[in-house]
Structure 1
Amino acid sequence: MTSITVGLIPAPGMSRTLIEKIIDDLPEFAGEFVDKSCTFKFEVEVSPLASSSEYINETIHRIVKIKENNGWDYVIGVTDLPSLSDNRVVVSEFDSQKSASLLSIPALGFFFVKRKLRKMVTHHLEYLYKYNEDSTSFSSSELSSPTVMNISRETPPEDNESTNRYIIKSYIIGWLKIILGMTYINEPWSIVTNFKTLVSLAFATGTYIAIFSTPWELSLDYQPWRLIALMLFSITGMVFWLIYAHNLWQGSSTKTAAHYRLLYNLTTFMTLLFVTVANYGILFILLTISVTMFVPPEIFNEWTQANENFTAMNYINLIWFTTSLGMLAGALGSTAESEDKIRNVTYSYRQSYRYNKLQEEDNDSS
């Protein structure tokens, strides 16, 4: 039985984590969908790939070099950086003649990423293997369908190392997928605990506000739309404050194209929005306990002349109101506890770091 070695080159971070989660399943999938008469062995080497379309030639050249150094039969790069072609989202790049391909994880979206990645890696291997078996009669239309729906196949310009490319047809769906996918790769849940000081100050402020009668009366007078507007204002205000306080918004630069800056900034906003909403929920729960303890129903109803039949709803309005005020008044005075950790959620920061790392590696090797 023929033995084939496939190299996987994930970028550091989430790409590496996802590959480690699926690598044990890949030999079985490859045997089922690629060639049952072969045994497939997968090896992993992590590399800080810079793989947007701005650096695609360098990236393809780099993964081919790693493939040759390791003696692999095929190589598949797996990156967490986005790639665009004429503002359309690129899912995959193939250099069929060199048995190399590149997969952009952000194009897989936010949900079921591990399952999609497993199928896409298998599909890439099938593509490269069948091209290598018979390049003259090879047709990509005969391959199993990729996971990402509504994709089109196109041939890149002649000066590109890639010989074939998968692109999501719809601009809207493609951009929605890639922004959500980039937000997922940022792992916003991992930095929620990085704002303990922020939540503490907001909780203290909300608790302090809740012991006065004026907020009680305001919470009863406010219509639901006003409470919703105040909540949205406090959340978006917090997001923009964090962006400003940590200088996370990428301005004009000669190093990064405008459409990539837009992607990076939208992803930063979405990531911090996720974190802020999570902290808002935590603060709501904490203030629920606080208000229940410090605001007795009898005094609340007496001071506000509220209808006793609606005590629970009145309490919810008060907690909702104080949560929004606490988020605004208390948390705006603080920042994240770890500057490096919060800056690492920005793609521009990570890409710049990795590109410099690659430059150092190239200088060392030469």
Structure 2
Amino acid sequence: MTHSERHRPEIVVGLVATPPDQPARVAGWLTAELVSGLTERVSADVRWTVRQGWGEVAPRRDGGAEALLDDLARRRTDDRWDVAICLTDLPLHVGRAPLVAQTSGRRQVGMISLPALGLRQMRSVRTAVPDLVNQLLADASDHRVPPADRAPAETTRHLPAVRRVIDGADAGERRYLASGLIGRARLLTGMVRANRPGRALLGLSKLLVGAFGTAAFALTTDTIWQMGDALGGLRLAVIMVLGLSALVAWLIVAHDLWEKPSRETPAELARLFNLGTILTLSLATAVSYMVLFVGTVLVGALLIDTSVFEQILQRQVNASDYLRLAWITSSLATVGGAIGSGLENEETVRAAAYGYHPQPGGWRDEKGRERSSGAS
């Protein structure tokens, strides 16, 4: 540290991720560059220090953003941070409008709901966090930072999801809201992004292997060849949709992924969790189906000789016939895979439930304190 740096006032910013899942990944990426962002966007006349920490594995749901800000304010006081920002994957609302961010000048804390940012979460938080820190310091009239030139509307330009800013009764209490229809669509895509469908896809690996075995066996049955030839495209599409729907429903029921409203989980939040779970599993199973379909096409082309195929169908065949055969075979094998999905690892499949966050073993925040909490 140079002589000039030692004489600059220090401002400590706490960055807390709760739960320590996707928010922790975003916080880890952001921490490495946040100091330079604060220096550039807020003030170069202070020495910025960023402390990264993990919040609770099961954050309080019934209190919404206010409960998160209260917990964060206690953490800020205990750790002697000047301001603190919480990144969370809880989908929050004010009325029917998705809540993107909220700041509390009284408590010197702020929060960002990552799902409300949609798919491009990292790009948005990179600019939003310095703006929220700047706003909190301005609300506190911190003498170490020159008076902020930015109005609250400046943050809305750096957060494309924000459409309205609501000032609370207390000074410095601001809520940044998304528009209704577009905001809800962005929220749902952000929930799927935060739920990491790739993890759900890897969790279905045994199911995919079982479906491949079922498909390979079905390809040796000439009855399936005749069914594929007899069914039209619409009926094949219906069979495919029914097979995928059955698989998603079976996964939810067999592994108890359905979130039920309770005293801790409001009905609206439970509905959002369930919708996020359904969308995540639907995306994962659709990708699995495409992998199964491509594999079935290749196996069918290698296994079934054209002359034998023509003899069964009693006509000439072409590539479209192999595709139709792979289509019905994959759909039927998906149903078979659904039955075998009960053999999947319980923890891996439950990770696809939006409201469930597995607790890392022996997890620590930056200060090295061991923390523990039950999974939600």
CA deviation after TM superposition for structure 1 residue 51, in Å: 5.6
Structure-to-structure mapping, 1:282-293, within 5 angstroms: 282-293=291-302
Aligned to 1:358: none
Distance 1:106 1:47, change over 3 A: same
Structure-to-structure mapping, 1:96-175, within 5 angstroms: 96-109=105-118, 111-133=119-141, 139-141=151-153, 145-156=157-168, 163-170=173-180, 172-175=181-184
Query: Alignment partner of 1:35: what SS?
Result: coil
Q: Paired residue for 1:264, among 273, 283, 288?
A: 273
Q: Is 2:21 the partner of 1:17? A: no
Deviations 1:274-305 (A, max 9, x none): 11112112211322232122211121122212
CA deviation after TM superposition for structure 1 residue 259, in Å: 0.8
Q: Is 2:189 the partner of 1:180? A: yes
Asked if 2 retains the 8 angstrom alpha-carbon contact of 1:51 and 1:79, the reply is no
Distance 1:51 1:137, change over 3 A: farther
Q: Is 2:216 the partner of 1:207? A: yes
Q: TM-score, normalised by structure 1?
A: 0.86
Letter in 2 for 1:114: M
Aligned to 1:345: 352
Letter in 2 for 1:23: T
CA deviation after TM superposition for structure 1 residue 75, in Å: 0.8
Distance 1:51 1:155, change over 3 A: farther
Deviations 1:200-259 (A, max 9, x none): 221122111111222212212322222222211111111011111112112342332211
CA deviation after TM superposition for structure 1 residue 71, in Å: 2.2
Q: Is 2:319 the partner of 1:307? A: no
Distance 1:136 1:223, change over 3 A: closer
Asked if 1 retains the 8 angstrom alpha-carbon contact of 2:62 and 2:263, the reply is no
Distance 1:136 1:165, change over 3 A: same
Distance 1:20 1:150, change over 3 A: closer
The answer to which of 129-138 and 318-327 deviates more is: 129-138
When you count helix as a share of all residues, which structure comes out higher? 1
Deviations 1:46-87 (A, max 9, x none): 111726562433322221222222222211111111211212
Query: Alignment partner of 2:111: what SS?
Result: strand
Asked if 2 retains the 8 angstrom alpha-carbon contact of 1:127 and 1:143, the reply is no
Matched length: 350
Q: TM-score, normalised by structure 2?
A: 0.84
Deviations 1:116-161 (A, max 9, x none): 1212212211211332337899842355723133421113477xx9
Deviations 1:90-109 (A, max 9, x none): 11111113321111111111
Structure-to-structure mapping, 1:1-80, within 5 angstroms: 1-11=8-18, 12-48=20-56, 50=59, 52=61, 54-80=63-89
Letter in 1 for 2:37: F
CA deviation after TM superposition for structure 1 residue 323, in Å: 0.4
Aligned to 1:357: none
Letter in 2 for 1:166: Y
Question: After TM superposition, what 4+ stretches of structure 1 lie above 6 angstroms from structure 2?
Answer: 134-138
Distance 1:144 1:177, change over 3 A: closer
**Separation of aligned partners in 2, 1:137 and 1:193:** 48
Q: Paired residue for 1:95, among 82, 97, 104?
A: 104
Distance 1:136 1:51, change over 3 A: farther
Which consecutive unaligned segments of at least 5 residues does structure 1 have? 354-360
Distance 1:335 1:80, change over 3 A: same
Letter in 2 for 1:236: S
CA deviation after TM superposition for structure 1 residue 9, in Å: 0.7
Aligned to 1:356: none
Deviations 1:171-200 (A, max 9, x none): x22222222212211112113222233222
Deviations 1:301-350 (A, max 9, x none): 22212334xx1111111111100011113432432521122223323334
Distance 1:217 1:76, change over 3 A: same
Asked if 1 retains the 8 angstrom alpha-carbon contact of 2:16 and 2:27, the reply is no
Q: Is 2:92 the partner of 1:83? A: yes
Letter in 2 for 1:95: S
Asked if 2 retains the 8 angstrom alpha-carbon contact of 1:201 and 1:331, the reply is no
Asked if 2 retains the 8 angstrom alpha-carbon contact of 1:99 and 1:132, the reply is yes
Asked if 2 retains the 8 angstrom alpha-carbon contact of 1:50 and 1:351, the reply is no
Please report the RMSD computed on the Cα atoms of aligned residues, expressed in angstroms: 2.8
Asked if 1 retains the 8 angstrom alpha-carbon contact of 2:215 and 2:296, the reply is yes
Percent identity between matched residues is 24
Distance 1:220 1:138, change over 3 A: closer
Query: Alignment partner of 1:6: what SS?
Result: strand
